[in-house]
Amino acid sequence: MRKISRVFTVLLAGLLLPAMTWLIITARTATAAPLPPSTLSPHLPTAVGLITLQPIQDTTLYESELGTISNGAGQHFFAGKTDNGTIRRGLLAFDLGAIPPGAVVVSASLTLTMSKSLPGDAAVALHTLSAAWGEGPSDALGEEGAGDAAQPGDATWLNTFYDSDLWATPGGDFDPAPSAITVVGGPGAYTWASPALTGDVAAWLADPATNFGWALLGDETANRTAKRFDSRENEPTARPRLTVTFVVESSQVFVPFVSR
């Protein structure tokens, strides 16, 4: 019986030893062989963001032959024509630096609070500005419709920065094609939104040096169309708001490639 057991043990060892040797050799070969290079997955995870911004500056261009009227620090800005036929144009600009670099703008909208109006509805349009301009310390009294004496750094009908730099065209340099139009009537909040307006924000985000903001133009074909909007110096709930929805890419994901 012991002899049979010894023979069985020898036979078993004879079978296992080659098998174990083969496994060890195979494992070493597999470890030593170079792995195929990794490939970048085409899938890039994204996150959606929403941000609301207030202007970094706003003012009114008051039509004036001498260009000596402004309202940089006032609580309101205007768009349209007064009852005596002089034009008012609002200017406002936003800093987009809080939006992450590389973000893709999905949508954008501008909300303004209109606090006083001559009777009747009027179309009010946003036009992208093509020159830098200033907001000085001028601060009109009363209803602010007549403006105040321009101070150094103010934008006026003639000046981008009073009283040195000039607009190429009196009344402001802006794209003649509007980015968005909204009809406004009585006092209340109004919103401007369009693919073109979203495109403005995307373009400024891509090239901040071109971000001069918008000119706000009312109906300038008839008298008594002027509308008064609350500026960034007004109470917080009445200030202009630019709302931007964007998508930002997260860190890239690498997936190892394994041949089969």
CATH number of the domain bearing residue 217: 2.60.120
Q: List, for residues 83-118, the tens digit of each pLDDT value.
A: 999 999 999 999 999 999 889 999 999 999 999 998
pLDDT at 251: 53
Q: Please say if the pLDDT value at position 153 is more than 60.
A: yes
Domain co-membership, 150 together with 83: yes
Higher pLDDT, 164 or 44: 164
33 and 68 share one domain? no
Classify residue 175 as exposed, middle or buried by CB count within 10 Å of its CB (0-12, 13-18, 19+). middle
Q: Same structural domain for residues 37 and 51?
A: no
Determine the pLDDT at residue 152: 98
The pLDDT of residue 46 is 80
- What is the mean predicted confidence (pLDDT) over 120-133? 97
| Cα angle: 183, vertex 93, 87; to 5 degrees | 50
Cα separation, 136 vs 172, in Å, equals 16
Q: Are residues 31 and 57 in the same domain?
A: no
Q: Are residues 27 and 107 in the same domain?
A: no
What local confidence, expressed as pLDDT, does residue 44 receive? 57
Rg from Cα positions in the chain: 34
Q: Is there a cis peptide before residue 173, judged by omega within 30 degrees of 0? A: no
- Does residue 252 carry a pLDDT above 80? no
Q: How many domains does the chain have?
A: 2
Task: Indicate whether 18 pLDDT > 70.
Answer: no
Q: Which of residues 24 and 124 earns the better pLDDT score? A: 124
Residue 187 has pLDDT above 70, yes or no: yes
Does 65 score more than 50 pLDDT? yes
Q: Are residues 125 and 184 in the same domain?
A: yes
Identify the pLDDT of residue 20.
38
pLDDT at residue 8 above 50? no
| Residue 17: how many other CB atoms lie within 10 Å | 10
Say whether both 23 and 79 belong to one domain: no
C-alpha 108/C-alpha 1 separation (Å) is 92
Are 23 and 52 contained in the same domain?
A: no
Q: What is the mean pLDDT of the chain?
A: 84
Q: Are residues 125 and 188 in the same domain?
A: yes
Q: Give me the pLDDT at residue 72, please.
A: 98
Coil, helix or strand for 210? helix
Owning domain of residue 138: 46-249
Claim to verify: residue 66 and residue 11 sit in the same structural domain: no
